[in-house]
Structures are given as structure tokens and as C-alpha cells.
A and B are shown apart, each in its own frame.
Chain A
Amino acid sequence: MAAPRRAAVRPKADRMQSFIHFESVSKNFGAAKVVDELDFHVGKEEFVSLLGPSGSGKTTLLMMLAGFERPSSGAIHLDGRRIEHLPPYKREMGVVFQNYALFPHMTIAENVAFPLKMRGVGAAERESRTLKALELVQLAHLRERKPSQLSGGQQQRIALSRALVYEPKVVLMDEPLSALDKQLREHMQLEIRELHRKLGLTVIFVTHDQSEALTMSDRIAVLNHGKIEQFDTPTGLYDRPRTRFVAEFIGETNLLPGTVESSRDGEKTIRMADGTGLTCRDASDFSPGASVMVSVRPEMMHVAGAAGENRIEATLDDCVYHGDHVRLHMHRGDIRLVAKAHRRDAQAAMGGAVGVSFRSDECTLVAP
């Protein structure tokens, strides 16, 4: 991973300039609202993941961008041009499908040359560009083979190279790695990221795997029931989830229910049902009296020493060894808690009752 991310070098304003714009886009299948009044922008050369459980509308969103589905209402802009009425073959987008979708009756080289042939590129140029695209994924030596003679990982790299060969404006990927085994998947994640940087691609990546989205994306749109719950950077989503859904869907979290007692300069005091007081400094704007959940990541829960302002007592149920860390499963009343701790700290926790603490700026308030 040599080159620095281009996006980081360019001024932020330029990067955020709208390249793809969904303007109050809805999609209904009969009575079912699959995509509900979505509004968002994607910048040029950005890597954006659409993340959500199945049925959240993420694939429908991608299909509307690719042109396989028409929005029921709203507009889609690409580079300042409205595209929602254009058929797929006029959209200049490279699509990588989940099951690769290589043409079984063509050789690898013919597959990669296909989009160039459709664009009337001459034979000589076609050959050199095909070779270049195959070299990009390091599979030029397989060009005379048929797709069925390649492994899953190789097929996916060919699909990638076929989607890139004609330098499309946007590359769309529909869960492209879900059919691969874990090791290969992680390798391909790095490879796709590398290509994204090297070629300055604008990528829309659909996935239901939150760790994949966190690893690869510049920004992630978390979708649920056809709406965007939060559209943010990976760290933003992880550290400052705005909704309970995001807090629970991205990573793992502890949720402590309570009521906002006071709010001053962003510092909120939360009173739990049993009278315990917690402080939380975050960007949320709940007013006093509101019921909330305090969301704390397991690794922000400290079991040894007094690392944070907030302190609660819990009963230890189990201590599970994970090699580089241990997980402490605890409960307090009917609230289940998980803390991720260093092995040496876990020693201190043995014996039933545990005092856990967390900092007021390492927790977030979400609606229950």
C-alpha cells in the first residue's frame, strides 16, 4: 500500500463536490417501499459503501444507479447530468456482480475485450488495452482460458478487470466478495482498495458485512428499511453512531438505558432507572427528559483502574479467552454488558463483582 490516498491530498471541498447525486429517490415494488425518499451525494474518486441487512434497499439502490431498475420517483444525477431515464448500456458504469457474471462462451481475453468491442474500439487498441487491464489484476497469463477453468478469486479479478477496462465513470460492486472464503476475501479487499487509489476510481460498494465496509470505504451509508440511518466515515460511524441501529449494526456495543437529566455545553447527565448517574459528552441534542440509550463500545469499558468518569458495578458471568484479549461477559440487573480487556486486567476482575468505568467522551447517546 504505497501511494497515499489521493482524496487525502486534495482539498476537502473539491472531494466533496457532488459527482453522484440521489435526489429524493423512492422505489416501490407494489405496496412495498423498498427505497424511501433518499437524498445523498457521492464525491468524485470516493469509495462509498452501502451497508445494511438484507431487504434494506441497498441492492435496489445500486440497481437504480446501474439502470436495471427505474426509480418510482426522484432523480439521479451523474456528473451534473440526469441519468435515471438512461438504459444501462448508456450509463458508462462498470458493474461487478456477486457471482462474477463472466461470459462462459468467451475466453478471458474476449470477456475483458467485450466492453471495448461494444464501443467500437479497433482490434489493435482493443488488444493492448485488454492486456493492460489483465495485467492490472495480474492475470494476463490466463487470457486464453475459459472462465470455467478459473478459481473463484481469479474469476472475480477478471470481472473487475472487465469492469475497469473501458475506464467507466463509476464502478459499482454488488457484494463482489461474498462468494469467496475469508482469507481470499481479505486479500481481495486490499487489492480493490489499491486499485481504487491507483486509478482514482469512484466506487459504490454494496455489502452486508460491516467489517468489510469499515476496512474499505471512505464513507459508509448505513441503510435500514429503505432509509439512510447514517452516512459517515468509518470512524464517525463507529465512534459516533447516531442511532441505536447503527450502534448495534456496526461493531458491537453496550446499551445502558436512562433519562436525560440535564444538558449543558454538550455535556449530558443521564440518570439510569436504578439511580446511577452517567455523564456523556457527544454531539447529540437530546433535551432533558428524553429517554435515551448510552452506547459504549466493549473496548471502551475498562475493568481495571478508574479510567473514566462513569463507573458502574456489574456481576461477572464469564471470562472468555481470545488470545490477544479476553472478553468479560457481565450483567447488571437485566442489562447485559461486554468488555474487551487485556489479559492482565482481567485478573483484577475475578471474583464476581466488577467495577467497570468508561470516559464521558467515549460514549454516545442514541434514541432507544
Chain B
Amino acid sequence: MLGAFKLVFGALVVGFLLIPLMAILPLAFTDSVFLTYPMSGPSLRWMNTLAESDAWRRSIVNSLIIGTGATIVSTLVGTLAALGLRRDLVPFAGVLRSAFLLPMVVPAVVLGVGMQILYARMGLASSYTGVIIAHAVLCVPFVMINVSSSLAAIEPALERAAASLGASPRRVFTNVTLPLAMPGVLTGAVFAFATSLDEVVITLFVAGPNQTTLARQMFSSLRENISPAIAAAALIIMILTFVLIGVAKLIPMLKARKAAAEA
């Protein structure tokens, strides 16, 4: 009885997670001009639209530029924050930690309006720097959470051992702490890139027409005309995300296999 219930519940959850994606993605290859079923025939016309249309092409490039920038900035800041707040040595460490996690809880609209006002004063409005910083703010919590958990998993005796064996604090960090925290840093970076890639709300507030990202382009084209180009763009975003997550999962697996092969 309970077993059957579990199975049905599990199937429902997976269904709700996957069916919407399954439904939209095939439309990337429709030959019709409408984003609806039934598909009259397969074609690559909407893929070509993405590649040829100036707006779509630019938005993809923008997403890559902004995503990369935001990933670098947030990985740096998030890692440093996780390290700094690691041992509660800083006064108000708990408050600071919550502050870093705030962008995850605060409604994006609120953050977006605030940033728009702030950026207007600072002259960052409608600039790549502005969008990168805005995205980085959103990404920092993901990096910090991942790095913090991999730091917490480091046995404290390891760093003491390194110090007792003659490593200065700097060398303890580069030789022991950082390598052991690396999986968390990489996972955090992947999450950061994925977050930046599909961020729309804040981008609407802080980006100018030149910084239109793929997600933003999808959003606005959705309002104008519901063309299957959106499905094609969604497919691209998903492929990028899957590749990234795959890489993040694959690195530790390959490492483990290499270690096993050497032994």
C-alpha cells in the first residue's frame, strides 16, 4: 500500500518536473510559425532564426559575456565570504552570513528596483558592468553555500597537521584548504552561471537594449509574438546548463577513476 503510494507520488513529482519541458522542446523543430501543437513537420527554421536574427544572436553572445563575468565575480566573492565567515571569528558573522544569502530570499523585483535607482546614481545603468554586478549579487549565495559546505567537511585536524608539519597559514591555505574546497567552488561556479543564464527580472531593470540577454530576449519576444524561436532558445539554454552540470559532475568522477587506475 505504502509502496504503491510512494510510486504514484514519485511519478507525479517527476511528471510535473519533466512534462512541461518535454512539451515545449520539440517545438524548437517545428516548421509552423505558431508555438502550438500539432506540429505540421520538422524543420530547422527556428534554429536558423536564432543564428541569423541579429537580436537573437546578440542576446546569446550577451548571455555568455554576462554569465562568464557574473560567474567569475560571484565565485571570487562567494568563496572569500565562505572563507571569511568560516569560523565565526568576525564579529556579527551570523548577521553577515544572512546578508550574503539575502538575494536568495528577497523578491527579485525589489532588488531590481533598488539596483536601478542605485545604478542610475552611480552611472552603471545600462552597462555590462552593471548587469554583471547585478547577476553576481544573485549568484553569490549559491557559491557561498557550496563552498561553505565543502569547507565544513574538511577535518580540522588536517589544517593543524599541515601547520605542525611546517606550513605557514598561507601555504596551509594553498596546499590543503583550497584544494579540498575546490569541488564546492566549481559546483558553486556552475550554479552561478546557470543562475545568470536564466535570470530575467533584474535584467529587465538594470540592462539597456545593448545588454539584452537570451532570457530577456525570450521574455520580450514572448510578449510581442509567440514564435517557436522561444522554444529553440529554451533548448539552447537547457543544453548549456546540462553541459555545465555534466562537466561539474564529471570532473570528480574522472578524478576518482584516475586515482583508482593509478593504484
Contact = CB atoms under 8 A, between A and B. Distances in A.
B163 A87 contact: yes
B162 A105 contact: no
B76 to A, nearest CB: 22
Contacts of A103: 158, 161-162, 175-176
Contacts of B175: 103, 114
A103 B176 CA distance: 7
B179 interface: yes
A67 interface: yes
| Interface residues of B, dominant DSSP | helix
A273 B165 CA distance: 58
Given A104-B180, A114-B175, A118-B171, A95 B164 contact: yes
Given A105-B179, A145-B263, A146-B259, A166 B166 contact: yes
B98 interface: no
B160 interface: yes
Interface in B152-197: 155, 157-158, 160-169, 171, 175-176, 179-180
B263 A144 contact: yes
B158 to A, nearest CB: 5
Nearest to B159: A101
B167 A89 contact: yes
Interface in A31-74: 66-68
Given A101-B155, A144-B263, A146-B263, A114 B160 contact: no
Contacts of B176: 103
B263 A162 contact: no
B54 interface: no
Given A115-B166, A162-B165, A101 B160 contact: yes
Interface string A90-114: 0111110111011111010000001
Contacts of B224: none
Contacts of A94: 164-165
A308 interface: no
A178 interface: no
B180 A105 contact: yes
Contacts of B155: 99, 101
Which of A97, A101, A163 gathers the greatest number of chain B CB atoms within 10 Å? Answer: A101
A119 B164 contact: no
Which of B163, B168, B179, B180 gathers the greatest number of chain A CB atoms within 10 Å? Answer: B163
Nearest to B165: A115
A121 to B, nearest CB: 10
A87 B234 CA distance: 56
B174 to A, nearest CB: 11
B66 to A, nearest CB: 33
A101 B166 contact: no
B263 A88 contact: no
Given A89-B168, A99-B155, A149 B263 contact: yes
Interface residues of A, number: 32
| Interface residues of A, dominant DSSP | loop
Contacts of A87: 163, 168-169
Contacts of B160: 66, 68, 88, 95, 97, 101
B173 to A, nearest CB: 12
Contacts of B163: 67-68, 87-89
A101 B161 contact: yes
A319 to B, nearest CB: 47
Interface string B228-263: 000000000000000000000000000000010011
B176 to A, nearest CB: 6
Contact of A118 (B165, B179, B262): B165
Nearest to A107: B262
B24 to A, nearest CB: 42
A102 B254 CA distance: 22
A118 B166 contact: yes
A328 to B, nearest CB: 46
A101 B163 CA distance: 12
A118 B167 contact: yes
A119 B169 CA distance: 14
A99 B157 contact: yes
B164 A66 contact: yes
Contacts of A98: 157
Nearest to A66: B164
Nearest to A166: B166
B225 to A, nearest CB: 53
A88 B180 contact: no
A145 B263 CA distance: 5
A94 B163 CA distance: 10
Given A87-B169, A89-B164, A103-B161, 9 more contacts: A66-B160, A94-B165, A101-B158, A101-B161, A114-B162, A146-B263, A163-B164, A166-B166, A172-B164
Interface of B: 155, 157-158, 160-169, 171, 175-176, 179-180, 259, 262-263
15 contacts: A87-B168, A87-B169, A88-B163, A95-B165, A103-B161, A103-B162, A103-B176, A114-B167, A114-B175, A115-B166, A118-B167, A118-B171, A144-B262, A144-B263, A172-B164
